[in-house]
Structure formats: C-alpha cells, structure tokens
Structure 1
Amino acid sequence: MIVLVMGVSGSGKTTIGELLASRLGCGFSDADEFHGAQNKAKMASGIALTDADRAPWLRAMHEAILARQRRGEDHVFACSALKRGYRDLLHENVADLRLVYLHGSPELLAERVGGRRGHFFAPQLLQDQLDTLEPPSAEEALIVDIRQTPEAIVEQLVRALAGG
C-alpha cells in the first residue's frame, strides 16, 4: 500500500507521514526531497510556484511512487498535492494509493507556519496554497482534523487504513 499524506504547508504532513511510516513499518519520503534547487529558492524568496514549476517535481514524485509499487513496497509519501490534477497525476497507474488529507483552519495553519524555523517555505506563501487548494472529497481521501495530537491522528489513520 502506498499512502500519500497531503495538505497545505503547516498541516503536519512530514510529522504525520514519518510517524505513520514508523507505525506501519515502512519507508517515508517527503515531497521536499523531489524539489529542485530553483523551486526551493523561489519559495524561500516568497515567490509562489507555478504549475510549470511544479510539473517536474510532480513527475519525479510519481516516478518514486511507481518504483515503490513495482517493488511491492509499502511506503508513505508526504506531498501538498493541492490540486485534483496533481493528485490524478500522482495516482496514475498506482493500484493501491490511499490519500490522507490533513485539514486545518487558516488561523491554525498560519500559526504553525509562522512558528517554523529553518524551513525554506516563506510564511507569506500559505495564502497562495490555500487559494490553490482543491480539497479532496471524503470519497477521494481520509480527511483528518489537525487539531488532534500527532499520535491521535496516526492512531486514527492506522485504524482507517486497516479497514476499521
């Protein structure tokens, strides 16, 4: 099973993804690993990425997802996956991809992003992500409220992914 943990910056994708991967006994990859230096520099400067900027990044993520699937490996990926088209691309030809959407209020997200240190994402880009976000439906994703503790979120996900 491939799990894709999605949401805007500050939603906890990396924290939840790492904890979930640990609980599931599998590997974890963060989308930031697939961004080129130019994209990271743009975001650090407060410049929002365009779809053209995101295209190579999304293709690289998709290839990594396919590679894990071909090897029969369970794996957790964290990626903003803001638009339905991005999610469609990431899901293409992937038989068992489960989507998790970490949802939170703009106020909570802004508080979290503003409190981060040492991350290349400029806090002023959060509004751009919120404006770009096409939230998945409950049929497309497991939707999780990020006001819970990371441990409670992971416990909820482990149960849901196991079918319970």
Structure 2
Amino acid sequence: METSGPARPAPPVVVVMGVSGSGKSTVGRLLAARRGVPFVEGDDFHPAANIARMRAGHPLDDADREPWLTALTEAVREVVRSGEGAVVSCSALKRAYRDRLREAAPAVWFLHLTLDRAVARARVAGRAGHFMPVRLLESQYEVLEPLGADEDGLTLDAGAGTDSVLRRAGEALAGFEARSV
C-alpha cells in the first residue's frame, strides 16, 4: 500500500485591493496567470442597482455594498472548496470587508495597491466603458482603511509599474506561503 506525504495546503486566495484606477484588475489577471489559478473580478458581483447608483455619481454605503460583499464572499468560498486558490480583484476598502473575506478563506493574502490621487483621477478619467466616474474616487479615499499590521499582505505603490508590483508581490507571497505550510 502506497502512502503519500502530508497533503499540500491549497493555494491562498490573493485579494488585490485598492481604490478605483489602482490597477487591481490588471495586476490581478496577470498574477492569476502567473500562479495558474482562476481570476475573480470583484466588479462582476455588484448588483445592477449598485452599478446604476455609481454611474449616476452616488457613492455606495455599507448597506449598498452588502449584497455585493455577500456574493463575492460566496464566490471566495467556492474557490476554497475547489482547492485551487484564486486571485480576486476587489476594492476591500474597509477592514470589515476584509474580515468577511478572511472568514470565507482559511488562507487569504491582500495586495493593497496604493496610488497618488492625481494619478488615480487621470487613470479613471481615461477609462472607457467603466461605471465608476472620477467624481466618486474621493469617496473611496475617504473610507479606505489601509491594511493593518495584523493583516497578511503587502502594500505597494501601483505607480511603480506593473512589472515591479508583480515581482515584489510574488516575492512577498512566496514568503507568506512558506510560513503557511
């Protein structure tokens, strides 16, 4: 009878977070491809009412975000059940939202992409077809709670460039995975 070594832990769920325009989706897709895991776009879980509200220039409050966060958290649970791991792009602006995501995944690691406000405004203004208008960007900065010292993850300046962000995130994530084994 063959015996195998200890089961390998499932890859962590990586949440790429930050304000609109910080590059969450771009970095998230590339990081998922490099890791060979699915990419989950957090914006896809917003109900139509939320998208309409943002398109009209109204910031979301916690009550508005609740159905989105519930749906996204369930998607993270599905990823965990699959055993594959994933990379999720999601603003995760508040600690309470990140706590919910942590409850859904035993191993979650956050990559917080920060960005100078002027650069973020320029990026959001230059996007075509996205529901988030520039005038809502300030509301995101106002509610943003940066990663706490007790939260697994890394904060990087998204203005450093995608290649630099991916390299540094990959190094830090490898360290996190080594400690999690």
Q: TM-score interval w.r.t. the shorter chain? A: over 0.9
Q: Which residue of 1 aligns with 2:147?
A: 136
Q: Which residue of 2 aligns with 1:118?
A: 129
Structure 1 runs (4+) greater than 3 angstroms displaced: none
Q: Which residue of 2 aligns with 1:148?
A: 160
**Displacement of 1:46 after TM fit?**
0.5
**Displacement of 1:148 after TM fit?**
1.4
Unaligned runs of 5+ in 1: none
Partner of residue 29 from structure 1, selected from 33, 40, 45: 40
Query: For residues 93 and 32 of structure 1, do their structure 2 counterparts lie closer, same or farther at Cα, with a shift above 3 Å needed?
Result: closer
Matches for 1:151-162 after TM superposition, within 5 Å: 151-162=163-174
SS of the equivalent of 1:127 reads helix
Q: Which residue of 1 aligns with 2:108?
A: 97
Unaligned runs of 5+ in 2: 1-11, 177-181
Instruction: Determine if the alignment matches structure 1 residue 48 to structure 2 residue 59.
Output: yes
**Displacement of 1:106 after TM fit?**
1.1
Matches for 1:1-20 after TM superposition, within 5 Å: 1-20=12-31
What TM-score do you get using the length of structure 1 for normalisation?
A: 0.96
**RMSD between superposed Cα atoms in Å:** 1.2
2:73·2:104 contact (CA, 8 Å) conserved in 1? no
* AA matched with 1:9: S
Equivalences, count: 164
Indicate the larger mover: 32-41 or 105-114: 105-114
2:114·2:157 contact (CA, 8 Å) conserved in 1? yes
**Displacement of 1:129 after TM fit?**
0.5
- Which has the higher relative contact order, 1 or 2, with Cα contacts under 8 A spaced 6 or more apart? 1
* AA matched with 2:93: L
**Displacement of 1:93 after TM fit?**
4.2
Counterpart-to-counterpart distance in 2, 1:58 and 1:156: 28
Counterpart-to-counterpart distance in 2, 1:12 and 1:67: 25
What TM-score do you get using the length of structure 2 for normalisation?
A: 0.87
SS of the equivalent of 1:49 reads coil
**Displacement of 1:138 after TM fit?**
4.4
